[in-house]
Amino acid sequence: MIDCTECGFTHILPLPTEEALTAFYQEAFYAVERPKYFSDTEEDIDWWMATYRNYFDVFEQHTNGRRILDVGSGPGYFLLAGQERGWEALGIEPSPDACAYATEHGARVVQEFFTYDAAKAYGPFDVVHASMVLEHVPDPCSMIEDIKRLLAPGGILAIFSPNDYNPLQSVAREGLTLPPYWVVPDHHLNYFNVPSMQRVLEGLGLEVVDTLATFPLEFFLLAGRNYITDPSLGRGSHHMRTIFEEHMYAHNPVLLNELYRRFATLGVGREFIMLAKAPITI
């Protein structure tokens, strides 16, 4: 692990080859590494759809357009949440298993690794959403540059990423004598947090216009549910979070979003979603 001053974020060294990454994401990511991913998603589908609808509410505060590309679209439910409210939604996904699953459920998905050349025929887009993607690619800045070229003037890039090396993780490491449990070099090449992602996006000519955290799962860890040393506690902790958020989505989503914006300013939250606007050219 290096805290790279040139890149502006932490990443592993050495990086894997392009051939190794291609084989992993096309053949093993869902089939071997995440065999229960689709069934777990179905079990949580009400929460997932409520979460995605909430994010579309946020997008609609920043753009009047309705064309969206989802990079790494997985099982496709994010696309379906957009389609149900009138967005023209397209996914690009390298995994044949995920692509087949999403298509069967009614999502429009292209099976392909994301590149500018692979996506340009479908653009431009008012929003490009990349959820849990940049931590997996060897050159995230080049990917952001390619995404920026696909945005309509004033379009929005929405990055969803793990919030790593955050303050609550530091407390958990010190208080519970844990290793850096968020470091998973077989899966995550890059490690972002709110300050480093903002620095990267602004350095590439994008204006950050909104940032929300997600629920700080470290709350459970520090309250005695040590899901790091006892992984059986992980799924139950996740369910407690989903129950809380479903109540908030149903009864006061504005309060929830403002709470998560405040968390983001403090750098806490297990993940974050950051919206950055492309320049408006004349």
| Ramachandran class of 212: left when φ > 0, alpha when ψ lies in -120 to 50, beta otherwise | beta
Percent of the chain with pLDDT over 70: 93
Do the Cβ atoms of 120 and 148 come closer than 8 Å? no
Per the model's pLDDT, the better-predicted residue between 27 and 112 turns out to be 112
Lowest mean pLDDT among 72-76, 182-186, 270-274: 182-186
Residue 39 has pLDDT above 80, yes or no: yes
Query: Which spans in 44-193 are helix H?
Result: 45-60, 77-83, 96-104, 116-119, 140-150, 167-176
Instruction: Say if residue 63's pLDDT is above 90.
Output: yes
Q: What is the pTM of this model?
A: 0.91
**At 36, phi and psi to the nearest 5?**
-100, 10
Tokens of 269: 């939250």
Higher pLDDT, 215 or 14: 215
Instruction: Name the burial class of residue 265, with classes exposed (0-12), middle (13-18) and buried (19+) by CB atoms within 10 angstroms of its CB.
Output: exposed
- Tens of pLDDT, residues 182-234: 998 888 899 999 999 999 999 999 999 999 999 999 999 999 999 999 999 99
Give the integer Cα–Cα distance in Å for 88 and 153.
17
pLDDT at 12 (0 to 100): 79
The two three-digit tokens of residue 55, written as one number: 């994010």
**pLDDT for the residue numbered 1:** 72
Helix pair angle (45-60, 253-266), 10° resolution: 80
Set out the domains of the chain in order of their start, with CATH numbers: 2-277 (3.40.50.150)
The secondary structure element, H or E, covering residue 4 is strand 2-4
Residue 54 reports pLDDT greater than 60: yes
- Residue 158: strand pairing partners: 129, 275
DSSP code of residue 15 = P
Query: In terms of residues, how long is the chain?
Result: 282
Report d(CA 264, CA 272) in Å as an integer.
Answer: 7
**Residue 2 class from Cβ within 10 Å (0-12 exposed, 13-18 middle, 19+ buried)?**
exposed
pLDDT band, residue 35 (cuts 50/70/90)? low
Mean pLDDT over residues 89-108, rounded?
94
Average pLDDT value over all residues in the chain: 91
The C-alpha atoms of residue 52 and residue 180 are separated, in whole angstroms, by 30
Q: Which two tokens stand for residue 230?
A: 């006892």
User: What are the pLDDT digits (tens) for 137-171?
Assistant: 889 999 999 999 999 999 999 999 999 999 999 99
**What's the whole-number mean pLDDT along residues 247-255?**
98
Is the model's pLDDT at 28 over the cut of 60? no
Instruction: Give the pLDDT confidence score for residue 31 in this predicted structure.
Output: 57
- Identify the DSSP state of 30: I
Q: What are phi and psi of 127, to 5 degrees?
A: -140, 135
Cα angle vertex 153, ends 151, 159, to 5°? Answer: 40
Determine the average pLDDT of the residues in 27-46: 74
pLDDT bin (cut points 50, 70, 90) of residue 282 is: very low
- The mean pLDDT value for 100-113 works out to 95
Whole-angstrom Cα distance, residue 255 to residue 263? 12
The structure tokens listed for 134 are 């940049």
pLDDT for 221 equals 95
Quote the tokens at residue 74.
């997985």
